[in-house]
Structure formats: C-alpha cells, structure tokens
Structure 1
Amino acid sequence: MKLLGKIVTVAGCLFFIVALVSSFTNSLTLFDSALTTVTTALVTLGILLLVSYIADRYLSKRLFILSLISLAFLIRIVWILWIQTPPASDFLYMHTAAKSAALGDFSFADTEYFTSWVYQLGFTLYEALIIKLFGSSLFILKFMNVVFSVGTTVIVYFTAARMFNEFCGRIASLAYALYIPNIIMCSVLTNQHLSTLLFMLGCLFLIKGWDSKYRWIYIGLSFGIANIIRPLGSVFIIGLILFFLIHQLRTYSKPQAWKIIAKVAGVVAIFYLVQSLVSYAILSADITKYPLSNREPYWKFMVGLNAKTDGAWSMEDARYVLQFELGEERNRAELEVIKERLADKPELAALMTRKLVSLWGSGDASTSWSLQEMNKPDLSVTLNKIERMMYIVMSAFGVLSLLALYRMKQTHESHLYVILLLAYATVHLVIEIQTRYRLDLMPAFIQLQSYGVYKMYSMIQSFNIAGQKNKSAEM
C-alpha cells in the first residue's frame, strides 16, 4: 500500500474511533450507568454476530436477496402506515410548493426561501411530478421513500459484496435495512432518500471499474441527478478524483491511464452538464428567474462557525441576516460575521472538535423528525436506545475494519468510502451541522464496518476450529 493509501486508512480509523468514543459517551445519558451501556452494547454485538451466522449459513444468495427486500420493505411500509408524520420545516415549504406546482402555479418561486436556495426546486419539482401523476396523498410520497430506501439497501448489498465478499454484503445490507433512522425517516418528506439512492448507485458503478464503455456516463448521470435532488455532488466529485489519484492511477499503464483520466473528466463534464440542462429547463419554463444554485452561499458557513450553538442552526443569526437585502448586501454582512468567527483561532479549533464529536457521536434526531406531534415518548426513547446501541457497535466494527485494511499490502476499493466519509466530515467542520445529515453517508459507514464484522466472525470460527482440533487430539 502506498503512503497516501496508508494515510487515508489511518485517518479513517481515527474517524471511527471518534465516532465510537463520542457515541458511547453521549449514550450514557440514555442508560442507568456505564456498565449498563457496555452490557447492552455487548448484547447487541452478540445479536449482530448471530444474525451474521444465520444469514451466512442457511440462506442461498437468491433467497437472501428476496428475504432482504421483503424485510426492508415490510418494516418501512408498516412504519409509514402506522406513523402519520406531517411535513414540517423545510419539508413543509417544499411540499406546499410542490402542490402548487402540480396545479401549474409557480408563484412560490418568488418567495425568499426559493430565491435564496434555488437548488431546493429540484426536489420540489420531483414531488410536484409525483403529486401530478398520483394525487396529493402524503402516502404516495412516503411510499416512494420506502422504495428508494429499499433500493439503497440492495445497492449496499452489492457494493459491500464486491468490495469485500458475500458475507460483508449480507451483513452490511441487513444492518442498513434494520438501522432505525433509515426506517423511521421514511415517514418524513426529506430529499435524502432519493439522493442517497442515486449517489450510492454512482459509487457502485465507480468501484466496478472503468472497463465498461459507457459506465462513466452512468456515474456522471447518477451523481448529476442526485445533486439536483440534494446538492452534495461536490463531495462525491472530490471523492471520485481523490480515489482515482490514490487508488487507481498507478494501477494502469500510461496509455490506459490517459483513457481513464478522460473518463474521469467525462464524469465531471456530465455532472455539470446535468446541472446546466436542468437550470436551462426551469429558466426557459419561467419557473424561476435564477439557475439552480445557492444565492446565499455564506449562510451555512456563518451558522457553522457559530460557537454559541456549536455550529447548529441559530435563530439569532437568522434574525440578524434578514435585516439585509438578499444578494451582495447580505453576503457582505455574513462575510463580516464569518471573518470575526474565524479570528479566534483557539475557539475555532475547539468549535471544530465539538462539531466533529456532535455530528458523529450524538444521538440521531430521526425520532424528533418522524415522531413529532405523535405523542409517543416511550416509543421515541426505545428507538433512540436501539439506534445508539447499533451505532456504537457499528463504530467499533468500523475501527476493526480499518485496522484490518491497514494490514493489506495494496490499496482497496473501500478507500472510496473512507475518502467520502472524511471529505464529508471535513466539510461539516465549517458549515451547519445536524445529526440528520449523517444519513447521507451512512451507507458508506455501514459498508465499511461490515468488514470488521467479517474479521471478528472469522476469528471466532478459527477459535472454534482450533478448539475442536484440540479436543480430537486429546481423544
């Protein structure tokens, strides 16, 4: 393994250590004591290994895939039928606008919400299309969330199986299917379900390699359309380029390398072409006066650098900027605040540390989003406890996985997902954070930890075999 590959692996290991320690520490408030937390985590670990054993030993590949799809779909459809989560916050704005758009009324595009964050039109128009085709029932939109979430579960299976082995594919997809936020957020009209499916599909195409004549086109289209739904494409484009430079460039001869460089450039070109075409389409249709973009680019940085809120959304900041006209005047005001917050270097370093611990170690907010106004406090507490235990155990397996990957003599396809996690975590050191944002990269998190499960499972099997041999020798 080359030096850069080793650096990526070590950084990934440190990332999972931070997630493990901070999530364990933050979970103590949910349980009676540290001993109870440890005991519950060990029980969760045991259950995960037992499920791994059953999935590995008793199910054929076809039967496993059918069981996986059925399980993931059934749990999610039961949830959205049981929990009638109403749209709220940004999701309410977009859903209300989508209903108007379905009727041909695009006046909402002139409101400050959509003139500031024009990129929100992408998901809004998707919802409008669904409403136009199937009616305004919330169930249809939530049902589509279920379909996208199940689709991502299947992609996780094929991705982990290709990167590592069949066992890892099974345990990663089961973990994704059963991870509480992935289930209960299906009743929330967030754009994350569709965008995650498309981004992970693009990544699956990517790790399959460049041998296919048209695969680079599929990657560019997947990333490009996903970015229209949720603007995280820059993270994935950066991940693609770094992965190519660290992992793949040196594995090709010079003529081959130039061909692959051309395909990587083609991916980037298609990605931006999709953005331009969609922007041109909505401008030509007079839906909005602006291309898909963020016309208040400094807002998330201003909030993300607020030490008082540890980088979370701030009402005080929101009230402050609203006194300035959107555009150059507001941009200047926000830049001034950003400069002030960057000036105190010790406080800035402390803030970034707190944000890293908070984003990757705090309890997930999915119960707040999904169960709001449902008056089910006991259910919320139970789900939070289950989520915490699963997250702690997966973080521990993530550490084990990266340690095992470090011992490999060559770089590995899984480095793409390590790079994506590190890039995403780095970006959020300076922009606004919510634990909900963690869901965008949870497929990467879960796929990587699956190799740790495999290594522990293999060690246990080795001990059992060694024990049986010793008993046979004694006889």
Structure 2
Amino acid sequence: MIELKNIGYFEIFNIVRTGISILKIQNGISKFILGVLAIFTTLVLFKMSMFYYENYATVNRAFNWGSLLLALVFVGVVGYFLVKISDQNKKLNWAILLVMLLVFMVVATTWVLVVPKTQLSDFGNFWTRVPGLQHGAKLYETDNDYFSRFAYQSGYMVYVLGVVKIFGYHIFAIQFLNVIYQALILLFTYLLTVKIFENIKVARLAVLLLMIDLDWFALNSQASNQYLGSLCYLLTFYLIMQDKLWAYILSGVALTIGCLIRPIGPVVVAGIVVFAILYTMFENGKFNYQKPLKILLSLVIYLALFSLAGWGIRASGLNAYGLSNYDPEWKFVTGLNYQSNGTYSPDMDRLIDASKPRKVMSKKEKAALHQEINYLNKNNKWLSLFINKVGGLWSQRTMATNFTGYSQNHSAKTVERVDYLAYIGSIILIIFSWIGSFSLFKTKFGNNLYLLLLPMLAFAAAQLLIEVQGRYRIEFLPVVAILAGLGLYQFFIKKDV
C-alpha cells in the first residue's frame, strides 16, 4: 500500500510539473507574439511618420496640421463621453452602439451618393461583364485573360450575378449592400472586443475609430469583395470563440463564403491552425483534444465546401478553371520588384500579353521573377524591400478614395483635401494601435485575441513576398481598430483594463 501511495504521489507531482512547464512555454510563446506585434506596429508607425513628413508635414500646413489636430480633438471628446457613459445597463449599451451604427450608415450612404457610380480597375472587371454574361458571353476568351489567370475571382463574380438577378443591373444595390456589410463589420468588431477584453468601453472606442476612417469605408461605392469577405472572416472568428459544436460547424460555412468572396483563406486558415495548436490543445496546463478536433471539423467543412464550390463553377460553365490560381508567378513578380516597392506598376503590367497562351507568358514571368530575385540577392535589398512593403501596405494611404473616381467631378484641390482627410483616419488608427500593442503587456485579456492576431500577422508575412496595395489591409483594419480602441482607452483610465 505504501509503495502504491508513493507511486501515486510521484505521478501527481509529474502531472503538476508537466502542467507548469506547458504553461511556461505557452506564456513564452504569447510574449513572443506580442513582441512581434509591438515591433510590427512600431515599424508601421515609423513608416507612417516618414510618409507624413514627406507628403503632408511641410505643405498646406494650416489645413493639414489643423485638420489632424481637430480630428484628434474630436476623437478625444467623443471617446471621453463614450468611456464616461456607464456600461452597466445592457439596453443603454445596445442603444449607444445602434446610434453609432445608424450614424455610420447615414454617412456611408451619403458618400455612395456623392461619388461617381463608375466602376474602376478590377471592380469594373466584375460589374461591366454582367450584361454580357447574362446574354451568353464568355467570362474570358483565352487562357491568359483576367478571369482565366485569376479564376479564384469567380466566387465574387457569382455573388455580383446573384445581386443583379435579385435587384436588377443597378450599382446602388451593390453599394448599399456594402454599407450594410460595413455596419455589420462594426458590430462584430464590437462583439469581438467585448469577448476578448470583457470591456464594453474599449469596444465602443474600437467602433468609433473604425467608423470615422474614410480610408477604410470609401470603397463601398465599388463592386469590392473586401467588405463581405472581411465580414465573413470576422464571423468565423466570433463563431470559433463561442466554443459550441453548432458554432464550429457554422464557422466552417462562414470561412468558406469568406474565401469564395475574398480569397485570402490560406493565411486565415494558417492563423487558425496555429491558434488551435498553441491555445486550445493545452488549456490550463492540461491536454485538451476536444477543442482542436472541433476546429479541425470547421476546417474540414471549409475544405469540403470550397472544393464543392470549385466543382460547381466548373460544372456551370462559368469558368473551366474553377477557383484556381492559374498565374501563381505574377503576384511574386510584382511583389519582389524593388523599383516599385512590390506594388502594381504599369511597367510590370507590360509583361502581360493576353493574346499569347498561358504557357508562353508563364515562361516569361518566371524569367522576370528570377531577375527580380537575382537583383535582390546581388544588391542585398531584401530587408529594404520588406520594410518598404510594410510601409506601402500598412502605413500609407489605402488609396480607397482614388478608386471612387471622385476626381471626375471635383477640382484637384478638393480631391487632394478629401484624400488627406481620408488618410487622417488611418493615421489615428496607426497611432493608437501602436499604443494598444504595448498596452497588451499589462492588460488582462483572453487567449481569443490570438485568434485575431495570428491571421493578421500571417497575412502581413505573406504580403512581404507578393504584390501589395494599401487597400489590401482593409480586411484586417477591424483587428487594428480593436488594438487602437485599447490604446485610446489608456488615456481615459488610471488603472489597467
């Protein structure tokens, strides 16, 4: 009996020791992730400061500095009242949120009515092809056209066709649906913040900082897939956080729709997988197999539904390539071009000749890719390119207002001022998200925060290699806004969250 008792105590000791070790490892990994985030936001802030100095600090000083100061005062005053209003009454909390969403929808709809209805760039590719498709035209002519090279865009094309089928060929239907999606994004930004920090006041501030960012919502006038895609990804995260079987099943459906609409699914999936391994497989120092299996169920549902959707698109005759990427080289050719800092440029676009077969152009693009890599290796420009790309994607203007065609019916001076006012929203998000990233080291929050941070950091890492545009960050601006809400909150309290 004594020997058995001794063995029992020894086993208990080992279990406790193992649990403590796992917790130490998990805490170490968490601090590492927060450290990476802090470095990232610091770099974004530094590049934003450089961009501001080079483009705005020394020109139109009265308007630029005055507008920025007024915007900060506005955020401070409104933020102060949002924090001072009690959060103990549930009805009052919802009333405040609904008022904020209503104000946003009025402003966002007004923006849609003010800017031209012309659909530009890739957005025009979706909208202008609809009448032809309705009368039997093909989505593409050769295997080197836009929709054959980037067949994964077919998912959003189906959505556009569906909206036109229901509401007719009226761009306002697409635009107003975008406004609704944006309002729902604000709602889920609020819900996710409350879920993570259990702090309604931080959630109010996060919504405030995102809703005033014209750089974020300006693309609602275009047939843009970013808002619906962003909403689906946020919904996926929120459902996973519910930790219920039905929610895991629905999260797989939401993830599928998100990837069909806005195909950045691989980085989101990568973030979810890492989260599952680091934060659900071991909880409180104990092995837990149920949560990882439930998340695996979500991913299996996503893979099955996405594959089925690809088959359906091929079977429908819309696109023989399904949802594939038939031109994997192009994003890397542009993304590793040092002269353009990894952004789209007309010079790079000249490589494309849609009249030539994909096999011919693929060889040409591969040759160009090797040239870019050799240049970066020979001149030791990799780090410089990566830093510049972080600035282009996260620190500079999203260029959303440029895609509205606002310059068609307004003076150059007006356009310049509107573009700057839009960028002020990004500046405020960048400043307060930087503060928020450091505040995390002394703030209590649930591990669910990492379900948002890991996909965003995975996205940021992937963008180091492929083409970047400022508007590509739109999907993750709600996550940035959550950090910014926490950062702004620090100015109104004397104790930790």
TM-score, structure 1 normalization: 0.89
Residue pair 1:114, 1:120 contacting (<8 A) in 2 also: yes
Give 2:316's aligned residue. 285
Q: Matches of 1:187 and 1:300 in 2, distance apart?
A: 26
Give 2:22's aligned residue. none
Q: Any residues of structure 2 matched to 1:391-402 within 5 Å, and which?
A: 391-402=426-437
Structure 2 letter corresponding to 1:95: W
Give 1:175's aligned residue. 209
Q: Matches of 1:410 and 1:177 in 2, distance apart?
A: 24
Is 1:378 the counterpart of 2:413 in the alignment? yes
User: What is the CA-CA distance between 1:147 and the residue it aligns to?
Assistant: 1.0
Is 1:30 the counterpart of 2:68 in the alignment? no
TM-score, structure 2 normalization: 0.86
Q: Matches of 1:311 and 1:418 in 2, distance apart?
A: 24
**SS of alignment partner, residue 2 of structure 1:** helix
Residue pair 2:185, 2:231 contacting (<8 A) in 1 also: yes
Q: 1:314 to 1:394 in 2, by over 3 A?
A: closer
Please, which runs of 5 or more residues in structure 1 have no aligned partner? Answer: 463-475
Q: 1:79 to 1:390 in 2, by over 3 A?
A: closer
Residue pair 1:321, 1:333 contacting (<8 A) in 2 also: no
Match of 2:282 among 250, 253, 260: 250
Give 1:195's aligned residue. 229
User: What is the CA-CA distance between 1:139 and the residue it aligns to?
Assistant: 1.1
Q: Matches of 1:306 and 1:92 in 2, distance apart?
A: 26
User: What is the CA-CA distance between 1:328 and the residue it aligns to?
Assistant: 4.0
Q: 1:97 to 1:33 in 2, by over 3 A?
A: closer
Please, which runs of 5 or more residues in structure 2 have no aligned partner? Answer: 1-25, 87-91
Is 1:269 the counterpart of 2:300 in the alignment? yes
Residue pair 2:154, 2:319 contacting (<8 A) in 1 also: no
Structure 1 letter corresponding to 2:351: Y
Match of 1:166 among 200, 207, 216: 200
Q: Matches of 1:310 and 1:438 in 2, distance apart?
A: 16
Is 1:7 the counterpart of 2:32 in the alignment? yes
Structure 2 letter corresponding to 1:51: V
Q: 1:126 to 1:74 in 2, by over 3 A?
A: same
Give 1:21's aligned residue. 46
Give 1:186's aligned residue. 220
**SS of alignment partner, residue 70 of structure 1:** helix
Give 2:89's aligned residue. none
Query: Structure 1 stretch 349-358 or stretch 402-411: which is displaced more?
Result: 402-411
Q: Matches of 2:216 and 2:385 in 1, distance apart?
A: 28
Is 1:239 the counterpart of 2:265 in the alignment? no
Residue pair 2:397, 2:426 contacting (<8 A) in 1 also: no
Q: 1:107 to 1:33 in 2, by over 3 A?
A: closer
Q: 1:246 to 1:40 in 2, by over 3 A?
A: farther
Residue pair 2:152, 2:323 contacting (<8 A) in 1 also: yes
Give 1:155's aligned residue. 188
User: What is the CA-CA distance between 1:380 and the residue it aligns to?
Assistant: 2.6
- Deviations along 1:376-433, one digit per CA (max 9) or x if unpaired, are 4333333333333332232222222222212358873222322222211111111111
Q: Matches of 1:40 and 1:76 in 2, distance apart?
A: 20
Q: Matches of 2:59 and 2:175 in 1, distance apart?
A: 38
Q: 1:24 to 1:35 in 2, by over 3 A?
A: farther
Residue pair 1:49, 1:457 contacting (<8 A) in 2 also: no
- Deviations along 1:146-190, one digit per CA (max 9) or x if unpaired, are 111111111111111221210111111122222112332111221
Q: Matches of 1:23 and 1:221 in 2, distance apart?
A: 37
Q: Any residues of structure 2 matched to 1:47-126 within 5 Å, and which?
A: 47-58=74-85, 60-101=92-133, 103-111=134-142, 112-126=145-159
Structure 2 letter corresponding to 1:341: E
Query: Structure 1 stretch 237-246 or stretch 225-234: which is displaced more?
Result: 237-246
User: What is the CA-CA distance between 1:33 and the residue it aligns to?
Assistant: 6.8
Residue pair 1:247, 1:411 contacting (<8 A) in 2 also: no
User: What is the CA-CA distance between 1:434 and the residue it aligns to?
Assistant: 0.9
Larger Rg: 2
Q: Matches of 2:309 and 2:352 in 1, distance apart?
A: 30
Is 1:128 the counterpart of 2:161 in the alignment? yes
Give 1:220's aligned residue. 252
Q: Matches of 1:239 and 1:68 in 2, distance apart?
A: 31
User: What is the CA-CA distance between 1:25 and the residue it aligns to?
Assistant: 2.0
Give 2:365's aligned residue. 334
Pairwise CA RMSD: 2.4
Give 2:8's aligned residue. none
Give 1:469's aligned residue. none
- Deviations along 1:13-36, one digit per CA (max 9) or x if unpaired, are 111111212112212322437997
Query: Structure 1 stretch 162-171 or stretch 415-424: which is displaced more?
Result: 415-424
Residue pair 1:122, 1:228 contacting (<8 A) in 2 also: yes
Q: Matches of 1:45 and 1:251 in 2, distance apart?
A: 41
